């Protein structure tokens, strides 16, 4: 009995967040608090640690690869947000452009218990990923669980990691807008930013979050164009009909915080 | 003037390589060795529908379609309708999933491949002519020698075999359209998988 209790503590304690090794990465699920209040969202995050030489993939994986796949086992009435992706790096593997992560990446997820939640609850998540190196691709998956009990939330040892990860997720910013027009086989991108912002788009790394819209291998660079910023992107070979939507992520030295900006026709 | 001519000639050349394998255009000709070491030429398949399937035994996306039996089923369905199906490995020697001829035959027997030909393209010549990007990546050439499909097996870019039934069957739909003389919808789409390992 004592042993069983100890095991339960080890598995649920954030210090000992269970890490599941599979393929060439290891996954663990962190929570900001082991306790929850009914109806109040809890921040959690899945952490993926890649073996040296291996990378995993962003939301737009690029020309090959695969984004994360999540399957939920939620207690009645519980809700899980979409997984958020931190800013990726770009790489080239065997001539194919890709976006993703090396070493370690933390993906925030918000859980919301129902207003009626009053019992200890176990939330289950099966997460699958793909890791590749220059020579091979190997998938991995992990069945992760969080055991949460009703009570006043108190920060776990992972709370700081999670809030840092949330800050690293690109977010929309007031006054930052994108417009896109087609000029032959190219896309003309126009970016507006508030005059008083500390953003320099020409010093930003730009990532296309929309798959199959622009050619992933051609970097996008914004340049000052009067009061606005302009860039040219190459249309993807797989764009079916006129461009309808484009989401970009701007990150790096040119911006204090990573920015997400979206455009859609109409 | 001369310079201008040369420049436009170079431009045209660049353009022709860029669009080497474009849907609606003649499929690039090739001659390559099969797993038995015999020469196989696209020209020999004149008058027949030809499928080119890029393959790498180590790729989890390829495994998805072979472990489930999906690819073998497609192969046997269409080779049963007089289609020439070429399974091509363009991995370079020393790269993951490279197979020399006899090893390729062994793997094909082991996995129960039903293709008409196993092509050893270790130089990557055929793959680059078609700009094959991933394994799997599928192309269909009609009886007139025109490329009519360039894309994925289906609509779900995952490694999970459970997704095969849920996905839109882009390649199979294209094959059925070609076989019944209809035009192919979604004829160019983004293939999903691992890199070819040229």
Model pLDDT for residues A26-80, shown as the tens digit of each residue? 999 999 999 999 999 999 999 999 999 999 999 999 999 999 999 999 999 999 9
Instruction: Count how many domains chain A has.
Output: 2
Within a domain: residue B178? yes
Same domain membership, residue A47 and residue A157: yes
What's the CA gap between A153 and B126, in Å, rounded? 60
Chain B residues in contact with A138 by the CB 8 A cut-off are 60
Within a domain: residue B142? yes
Q: Which residues of A touch B (CB under 8 A)?
A: 61, 63-64, 66, 69, 93-96, 128, 130, 132, 135-139, 211-212, 236-238, 240
pLDDT of residue A8: 42
Within a domain: residue B187? yes
Same domain membership, residue A148 and residue A217: no
Chain B residues in contact with A66 by the CB 8 A cut-off are 61, 157-159, 192
B193·A95 Cβ contact <8 A? no
Same domain membership, residue A147 and residue A201: no
pLDDT of residue B20: 65
B58·A69 Cβ contact <8 A? no
pLDDT of residue A244: 94
Within a domain: residue A172? no
Residues spanned by the domain of B86: 20-195
* Residue ending a domain, choose from A167, A186, A204: A167
Other CB atoms within 10 A of residue B183 CB: 9
For chain A, say whether B193 makes contact (Cβ under 8 Å). yes
Same domain membership, residue A149 and residue A48: yes
Within a domain: residue A251? yes
What's the CA gap between A212 and A239, in Å, rounded? 6
pLDDT of residue A266: 79
Same domain membership, residue A123 and residue A228: no
Instruction: Count how many domains chain B has.
Output: 1
- Please say whether the beta carbons of B119 and B54 come within 8 A: no
Within a domain: residue B163? yes
For chain A, say whether B195 makes contact (Cβ under 8 Å). yes
Same domain membership, residue A43 and residue A25: yes
B194·A64 Cβ contact <8 A? yes
CATH of the domain at A198: 2.60.40
Within a domain: residue B122? yes
CATH of the domain at B64: 3.40.30.10
Task: State both tokens at A166.
Answer: 């949330």
pLDDT of residue A16: 52
pLDDT of residue A1: 38
Same domain membership, residue A117 and residue A58: yes
Same domain membership, residue A21 and residue A145: yes
ipTM: 0.82
Chain A residues in contact with B22 by the CB 8 A cut-off are none
Within a domain: residue B10? no
**3-class SS string, chain B:** CHHHHHHHHHHHHHHHHHCCCCCCCECCCCEEEECCCCEEEHHHHCCCCEEEEECCCCCHHHHHHHHCCHHHHHHHHHHCCCCEEEEEECCCCCCCCCCCHHHHHHHHHHHCCCCCEEEECCCCHHHHHHCCCEECCEEEECCCCEEEEEECCCCCCCCCCCHHHHCCCHHHHHHHHHHCCCCCCCCECCCCCEECCC
B198·A130 Cβ contact <8 A? no
Cβ contacts from A onto B, under 8 A: 61
Model pLDDT for residues A49-59, shown as the tens digit of each residue? 999 999 999 99
Same domain membership, residue A112 and residue A230: no
Same domain membership, residue A206 and residue A137: no
- Which residues 103-122 on chain B approach chain A with CB closer than 8 angstroms? none
pLDDT of residue B58: 94
Per-position pLDDT tens, chain B of length 198: 444 444 444 444 444 444 468 999 999 999 999 999 999 999 999 999 999 999 999 999 999 999 999 999 999 999 999 999 999 999 999 998 999 999 999 999 999 999 999 999 999 999 999 999 999 999 999 999 999 999 999 999 999 999 999 999 999 999 999 999 999 999 999 999 999 999
pLDDT of residue B21: 85
A17 to chain B, closest Cα gap in Å = 26
Same domain membership, residue A156 and residue A114: yes
Spatial strand order of the sheet with A186-192 comes to A177-183, A186-192, A228-234, A223-225
Within a domain: residue B4? no
Name the helix (H) or strand (E) containing A254.
Answer: none
Residues spanned by the domain of A127: 2-167
* Residue ending a domain, choose from A129, A145, A167: A167
CATH of the domain at A29: 2.60.40.1250
B60·A139 Cβ contact <8 A? yes
Within a domain: residue B14? no
- Give every residue of chain A whose pLDDT is below 70, as ranges: 1-17
Closest CA to A228 of A187, A266, A264, A194: A194
pLDDT of residue B65: 98
């Amino acid at each position: 009995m004592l042993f069983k209790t100890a095991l339960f503590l080890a598995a649920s304690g954030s210090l000992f967040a269970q890490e599941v090794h599979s393929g060439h990465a290891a996954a663990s699920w962190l929570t900001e608090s082991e306790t929850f209040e009914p109806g109040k969202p809890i921040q959690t995050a899945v952490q993926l640690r890649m073996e040296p030489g291996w990378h995993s993939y962003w939301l737009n994986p690029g020309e090959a690869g695969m984004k994360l796949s999540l399957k939920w086992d939620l207690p009645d009435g519980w809700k899980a947000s979409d997984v958020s992706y931190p800013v990726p790096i770009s790489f080239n593997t065997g001539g194919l452009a890709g976006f993703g992560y090396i070493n370690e990446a933390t993906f925030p997820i918000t859980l919301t218990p129902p207003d009626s939640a009053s019992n200890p609850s176990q939330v289950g998540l099966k997460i699958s990923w793909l890791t590749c190196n220059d020579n091979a691709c190997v998938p991995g998956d992990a069945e992760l669980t969080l055991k949460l009990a009703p009570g006043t939330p108190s920060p776990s040892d992972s709370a700081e990691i999670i809030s840092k990860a949330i800050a690293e997720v690109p977010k929309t910013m007031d006054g930052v807008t994108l417009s896109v027009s087609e000029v032959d086989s190219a896309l003309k991108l126009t970016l507006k930013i508030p005059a008083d912002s500390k953003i320099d788009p020409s010093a930003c790394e730009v990532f296309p979050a929309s798959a199959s819209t622009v050619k992933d291998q051609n970097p996008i660079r914004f340049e000052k164009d009067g009061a606005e910023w302009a860039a040219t992107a190459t249309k993807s070979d797989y764009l079916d009909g006129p461009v309808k939507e484009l989401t970009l992520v701007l990150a790096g030295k040119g911006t204090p915080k990573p920015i997400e900006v979206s455009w859609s026709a109409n | 003037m001369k310079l201008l001519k040369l420049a436009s000639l170079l431009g045209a050349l660049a353009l022709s390589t860029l669009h080497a394998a474009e849907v609606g255009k003649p499929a690039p000709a090739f001659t390559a060795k099969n797993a038995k070491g015999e020469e196989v030429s696209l020209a020999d398949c004149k008058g027949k529908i030809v499928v080119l399937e890029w393959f790498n035994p180590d790729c989890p996306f390829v495994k998805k379609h072979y472990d489930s039996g999906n690819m073998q089923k497609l192969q046997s369905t269409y080779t049963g309708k007089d289609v020439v199906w070429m399974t091509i490995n363009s991995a370079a020697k020393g790269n993951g999933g490279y197979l020399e001829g006899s090893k390729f035959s062994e793997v094909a027997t082991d996995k129960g491949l039903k293709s008409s030909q196993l092509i050893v393209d270790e130089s990557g010549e055929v793959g680059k002519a078609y700009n094959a990007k991933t394994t799997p990546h599928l192309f269909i050439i009609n009886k007139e020698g025109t490329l009519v499909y360039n894309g994925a097996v289906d609509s779900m870019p995952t490694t999970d075999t459970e997704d095969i039934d849920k996905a839109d069957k882009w390649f199979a739909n294209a094959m059925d359209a070609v076989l019944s003389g209809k035009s192919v919808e979604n004829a160019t789409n983004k293939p999903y998988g691992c890199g070819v390992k040229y």
